[in-house]
Amino acid sequence: MPELPEVETTRRGIAPHLVGQRVSQVVVRERRLRWPIPDALDVRLSGQRIEAVERRAKYLLIKAEVGTLIAHLGMSGSLRLVPADLPVGKHEHVDFVLESGMALRYTDPRRFGALLWSADPLSHVLLASLGPEPLSDDFDGERLYQLSRGRSMAVKPFIMDNAVVVGVGNIYASEALFAAGIDPRRAAGAVSRARYMKLAVEIKRILAYAIERGGTTLRDFVGGDGKPGYFQQELFVYGRGGDLCKRCGSTLREIRLGQRASVYCGRCQR
């Protein structure tokens, strides 16, 4: 699933081509995504000028003059700029045709993504209860420490809870916990304030670096410009179960936490 750095990479890739452009047409070839694409989306968006392309958690907010398109890439979705007359391939469900002659094309083989419309996106049910952005000043180790008190759940699913902090998905939770030396199985309430301070710093550092490197390319993801990211080449634990730890040389262990695969080093993480 595309995570926060992949979504931010997409935002940065498409924003310069969208902002200031007017949408001439919305072509919907398949409405059946995670939630059906609104029937009136074409009417609402056509003729509107795009004023901004923002991100909240893993949602892209394409703001027009009278409303906002809320886009989520789901498990396998992507948004990229193509010539409007480029022949349509399989799973290319929606085109937002621009006056420039380009089109923002939404592709989603599994159809778990979403394209919704809202006059007030931050109050939308999908966004209203989200926690702070991990790269903002509202997120720090003290927040993690205070929210974790009395919590018996493992620390990894705790930091992946969008009510605690948004955008720390499986890849980056695994990498941040390794960098902070914390066993992902440890109870959230048993982690000290000092270790949460270290963990928050590592979450910020790793996410910022992954964005700089273009996100993590997995099986399905490419950026908005069609180019893959390169952070995958630098992963320490995610997807490396059974391999040797790059730091100490011991064999990395793979377990299941919260129905997700989790890889960690039994020597480096306590």
Reading the block at residue 170, the tokens are 């499986």
Taking alpha carbons only, the member of 160, 159, 162, 199 closest to residue 179 is: 199
Map residue 223 onto helix, strand or coil.
coil
Q: Where in the chain is the domain with CATH 1.10.8.50?
A: 141-264
pLDDT of residue 2: 79
109-132: per-residue pLDDT in tens? 999 999 999 999 999 999 999 999
Taking alpha carbons only, the member of 168, 143, 164 closest to residue 153 is: 164
CATH topology of domain 4-123: N-terminal domain of MutM-like DNA repair proteins (3.20.190)
**Residue ranges at the known binding site for DNA:** 91, 110, 151
Q: Pick the catalytic residue: 3, 8, 175, 202?
A: 3
204-221 b/e (C-beta count within 10 Å ≥ 16 → b): bebbeebbebbbbbbebb
Report the mean per-residue pLDDT for the chain.
93
pLDDT of residue 170: 93
Is residue 2 part of the annotated active site? The answer reads: yes
Taking alpha carbons only, the member of 204, 202, 222, 193 closest to residue 80 is: 222
> Strands of 92-98's sheet, edge to edge?
23-28, 92-98, 102-107, 78-83
pLDDT of residue 193: 98
Is residue 3 part of the annotated active site? The answer reads: yes
Count of alpha carbons within 13 Å of 79, Cβ hemisphere only?
A: 32
pLDDT of residue 219: 45
Q: How far apart are alpha carbons 156 and 176 in whole angstroms?
A: 10
pLDDT of residue 201: 98
Which parts of the chain register pLDDT below 50?
218-221
Is residue 5 part of the annotated active site? The answer reads: no
Q: How far apart are alpha carbons 107 and 89 in whole angstroms?
A: 9
Q: First vs last Cα of the chain: how many Å apart? A: 28
Residue 121 DSSP symbol: G
pLDDT of residue 212: 87
Q: Pick the catalytic residue: 55, 56, 58, 195?
A: 58
Q: Pick the catalytic residue: 2, 5, 121, 157?
A: 2
Q: Where in the chain is the domain with CATH 3.20.190.10?
A: 4-123
Q: Pick the catalytic residue: 49, 143, 205, 260?
A: 260
CATH pick for 141-264 out of 3.90.1150.10, 1.10.540.10, 1.10.8.50, 3.40.50.10540:
1.10.8.50
Is residue 260 part of the annotated active site? The answer reads: yes
